[in-house]
Structure 1
Amino acid sequence: MIYPFILKNFVLPLGSKLMGGGISKKIKEYESILSLQPSEIAEVQRKKLNQVLEYAVQNSPYYRSLFSDKNLPSSEISSYPILTKQNLRDKIDEIITVKETANLHQILSSGSTGPPSKVYYSSEELAIPRAIQLIWWSWADYEYGNSILQTGVNLNRSKEKQIKDFFFRTKYIEALKHNEEQILQELSSLQSENRDHFVGYASSLFLFSKVALDNEIKNVQFKSVISLGEKLLPNFRESIEKAFRCKVFDTYGSSEGLMVASQCKHGTYHIMSPHVFVEILDENGVEVKPGEIGSVVLTGLDNFTTPLIRYDIGDMAVKGDSGACACGLNLPHLGEIIGRSTEFIQTQNKKYITVQTVVRIMKFYPQIEQFTLIKKEDNSLQLQYIGSENLSEDIESQITKSFSNLYDEFFEIDFLKVNQLPRRKSGKYQLIMNLSQDSK
């Protein structure tokens, strides 16, 4: 019990002081805000939103130019245009509010839907998403001093991150090159020296759970598993919780550093509203009703260096309700996270095949271990799959008929058995790939 106390009260504050940013201070600030009543949290958000809007128009050449021939915009967020990923890539030098970037932190997006974009943070601004991450982990029963196994895309850890890994007892392993032998070695290590928490990409967590279940490894258990970076599919969650006998806590954010929402113990996605203003918009840019699907549009409330106002991150989600949650958090809710807009396939009759639909159909075919449904550039469909043997014509026919019956229209699907499923440029796994949309 001594080490957690030292880590929280001495190591973390000292590290914050030496490296700048003040993570400990930001944690306390946000914990204080989260203890407020719903109306008080909403007021904090409103004030921070007004500050960001005003600051952007006064200090960002991009936003100043948008209103140069008009009166300064009001605090009404709808008076600001949608910022697309292409806008951000093309206009970043005009969007930022400082002239000198040498002392700033640069964050690159994953580039999964095109060339990567970049945003800039000061040390103090960057401390906020890091503080929020630790708060989210506390919702998943993380305590200072707990040991962590974490998967990620880059093993070239900076000196700062290596120091963080050491003090936070984190073993960091690569997520993109897992094979069964490597996973078995890691699971064997966990049997002799277990870790308290497992953090990583959803597909990486799933592969670990699948190998554990297939090899009947039953003595690896965590306090919790924390999913990030990818869509957590229902079958992924089920497999992970079964293999490691603990709850999975899903987190949701943008690669530009905006921490959007995280699950509590009751499974509710709580929006970090003091940090980000979330809009769920329909095709006409109008806020959808609770329970409806729309595009996720974000306004960051803590980054004044790179103000992102009404930034369309390319995701779709269900708008949540405003009811209370039994966990006691007084934050608004986000409904189901659907995924990227490119993770939809539009049929000839203008209907949508979603991730949820594919999972619903494919769960009846255990012969297929993993799969990706692809809409190719010529608009034809192909199901690539991993399995112990080739599918029979009868099974292929059944799967095709399932899609046709569900959508009440004709489908023709090409089936291809592969050793490895395709991934995006970022290395992330996708259950649906819309190449006809990606190529635009």
Structure 2
Amino acid sequence: MEWFRLSLQLNNFPINRAEKLLRQIQDIPENKYQEYLDGRLDSIFKFHLENNPFYGRFCRTGNCEKWSDVPVMKKADLQQPLKNRLTKGFNNRKKTYVGKTSGSSGQPFIFAKDRFAHALTWAGFNNRYQWHGINLNKSLQARFYGIPLDFYGNFQERVKDRISLRRRFNIFDLSDKKMEHFLKRFEGSPFEYINGYTSAILMFAKFLRNKNVILKDICPSLKSCIVTSERLFENDKILMEHALGVPVINEYGASEVGLIAFESSQNEWILNSEDLYVEILDEENNILPAGQEGRVVVTSLYNKAHPIIRYDIGDTGIFSKEGNLKRPKLQKLIGRTNDLAHLADGKVVPGLTFYYVTKTIIADSGSIKEFIIIQKALDTFKIEYVSDREFTEEQVQKILAAIQKYVGKNLNVSFERKTLLIRSKSGKLKQFTSLI
């Protein structure tokens, strides 16, 4: 029984038609791909301009003679009631899929996709997973995610998990006792892949390392691990692959647009060019060539229910020079554009700088499980960490010296050991947060 396909069909998502279109798009020759993209961009832009009053008002600033004239949308532009943003004829729930972003960036909002566009998204996921021998219709997933705690939401997610061949590993409790329970669940279970938030799976991998256990020895059916939603550092990837005994694959996506990029078996991040059009723009909205860092901006080529046109996803990245129009590649995903630390002297530092500096120093200690950095004022930062024991004075001094060297001088940095770190409602762990 193909449970994944059946669950989509029962919910009126035309997955068969979506998979057929995906195959047709993938069969387009490279020398014809520009024509395909130009046609889709023109079609979806004109459709929303003519049928979506919200988008018509949004584009009122002038004529768009070429694609670069089309205005860039940000989350702030969409944070108004959904009914104000829906395309004519798509206010019926039978025609639309409605979802909500996690808000891990601090800017959650409700979005909509027409049912064909949503089916096309899932067809894309299944296609990419098959690169690594995973079939969403047949492969059992160990799902390292959060879960709603209210009765209805919890029940709904568990039903969806059962139908979609997913078994939930609730990441709101990552104690050693819970990790022992996780490990026992892998014994004798035919899991083919792990999917979930990077930080939670990393914690599990460290637990396995400390027990000197390789998970694939416990669960021989395991083929791969797919991490999403949070940054994966190269050293962490090496640790995870050793502890899990399978390849760790990077997935980059967003609820409102679907799959943006996926790592191939050759360790290349292949961008989704079938139902999305991805650009890298500078601060003045100029299109940047491959090799230059800028804002990731996405257009959904098939979503008729809601305009996602030149939408600033909130990330920064770099295109690879090795890609082409049909198979573009992401050289690097740098992080959230709003994860910046502003210092008293006017200096602006990427928040991940703190994470890199601190991580390189404390990674040698197996007792430190995870940590976050919080900026409380222009010159005040707090590091919260989960560890078997307090930082030693030597560790503290090394961290302070590194922060002074790589970030700035005259900063007040405090440390607090915690039994657990606060995650978002979805279970994500935000590595750097600015409260100013």
Question: Fold conserved (TM > 0.5)?
Answer: yes
* Partner of residue 60, structure 1: 52
How is 1:119-198 mapped onto 2 (pairs within 5 angstroms)?
Answer: 119-143=111-135, 144-154=137-147, 156=153, 162=159, 165-166=162-163, 168-198=164-194
CA gap of 1:27–1:38, structure 2 versus 1, over 3 A, is same
* Partner of residue 399, structure 1: 399
TM-score (norm 1): 0.86
* Partner of residue 355, structure 1: 352
CA distance in 1, matches of 2:297, 2:385: 33
Residue 85 of structure 1: CA displacement? 1.0
CA gap of 1:333–1:160, structure 2 versus 1, over 3 A, is same
CA distance in 2, matches of 1:407, 1:115: 27
* Partner of residue 382, structure 2: 382
Residue 67 of structure 1: CA displacement? 4.7
How is 1:214-229 mapped onto 2 (pairs within 5 angstroms)?
Answer: 214-218=210-214, 219-221=217-219, 222-229=222-229
Instruction: Give the percent of matched residue pairs that are identical in Structure 1 and Structure 2.
Output: 21
The residue type paired with residue 434 of structure 2 is: N
The residue type paired with residue 211 of structure 1 is: F
CA distance in 1, matches of 2:205, 2:161: 27
* Partner of residue 86, structure 1: 76
Q: Provide the secondary structure at the position in 1 that maps to 2:111.
A: strand
User: Structure 1 runs of 4+ off > 6 angstroms?
Assistant: 157-161
The residue type paired with residue 363 of structure 1 is: T
Q: Provide the secondary structure at the position in 1 that maps to 2:416.
A: strand
Residue 161 of structure 1: CA displacement? 7.6
How many residues are matched?
421
CA distance in 1, matches of 2:61, 2:348: 42
Residue 194 of structure 1: CA displacement? 4.1
CA gap of 1:179–1:28, structure 2 versus 1, over 3 A, is farther
1:257-311 CA-to-partner distances (Å, cap 9, x unmatched) read: 3321111011111111121111222222223343332222211111111011121
Residue 60 of structure 1: CA displacement? 0.9
CA gap of 1:361–1:287, structure 2 versus 1, over 3 A, is farther
Q: Provide the secondary structure at the position in 2 that maps to 1:241.
A: helix
CA distance in 2, matches of 1:178, 1:259: 28
CA gap of 1:287–1:68, structure 2 versus 1, over 3 A, is closer
Matched, 1:77 2:70: no
Contact 1:294 1:319 in 2 (8 A): no
Q: Which moved more, 1:364-373 or 1:149-158?
A: 149-158
CA distance in 2, matches of 1:30, 1:421: 41
Q: Provide the secondary structure at the position in 2 that maps to 1:192.
A: coil
Residue 27 of structure 1: CA displacement? 2.2
CA distance in 2, matches of 1:361, 1:16: 44
How is 1:292-371 mapped onto 2 (pairs within 5 angstroms)?
Answer: 292-323=292-323, 330-347=326-343, 348=345, 350-355=347-352, 358-365=355-362, 366-367=364-365, 368-371=368-371
Q: Which moved more, 1:46-55 or 1:341-350?
A: 341-350
Q: Which moved more, 1:340-349 or 1:143-152?
A: 340-349
How is 1:270-281 mapped onto 2 (pairs within 5 angstroms)?
Answer: 270-281=270-281
CA distance in 1, matches of 2:315, 2:293: 10
The residue type paired with residue 165 of structure 1 is: R
CA distance in 1, matches of 2:347, 2:305: 41
1:207-261 CA-to-partner distances (Å, cap 9, x unmatched) read: 2211111222222352010112222233432222111111111111112133211
CA gap of 1:375–1:292, structure 2 versus 1, over 3 A, is farther
Residue 181 of structure 1: CA displacement? 1.6
The residue type paired with residue 95 of structure 1 is: R
Residue 361 of structure 1: CA displacement? 4.6
CA gap of 1:66–1:419, structure 2 versus 1, over 3 A, is closer
CA distance in 1, matches of 2:161, 2:16: 14
CA distance in 2, matches of 1:115, 1:232: 22
CA gap of 1:291–1:382, structure 2 versus 1, over 3 A, is farther
* Partner of residue 3, structure 1: none
* Partner of residue 201, structure 1: 197
Q: Which moved more, 1:156-165 or 1:280-289?
A: 156-165
CA distance in 2, matches of 1:276, 1:362: 35
1:111-166 CA-to-partner distances (Å, cap 9, x unmatched) read: 22335211122322211111111112112221352222112333646769836734
CA distance in 1, matches of 2:86, 2:171: 32
Q: Which moved more, 1:369-378 or 1:308-317?
A: 369-378
Contact 2:361 2:398 in 1 (8 A): no
CA distance in 1, matches of 2:204, 2:369: 14
Residue 77 of structure 1: CA displacement? 2.4
Contact 2:257 2:300 in 1 (8 A): no
CA gap of 1:79–1:401, structure 2 versus 1, over 3 A, is same
Q: Provide the secondary structure at the position in 1 that maps to 2:37.
A: helix
CA distance in 2, matches of 1:262, 1:13: 21
CA distance in 2, matches of 1:186, 1:279: 40
CA distance in 2, matches of 1:349, 1:112: 26
Contact 2:74 2:312 in 1 (8 A): yes
CA gap of 1:157–1:55, structure 2 versus 1, over 3 A, is farther
- For structure 1, list consecutive stretches of 5 or more residues without a partner in the other structure: 1-5
Residue 109 of structure 1: CA displacement? 0.9
The residue type paired with residue 71 of structure 2 is: P
Q: Provide the secondary structure at the position in 1 that maps to 2:428.
A: coil
Residue 195 of structure 1: CA displacement? 1.1
Residue 407 of structure 1: CA displacement? 4.5
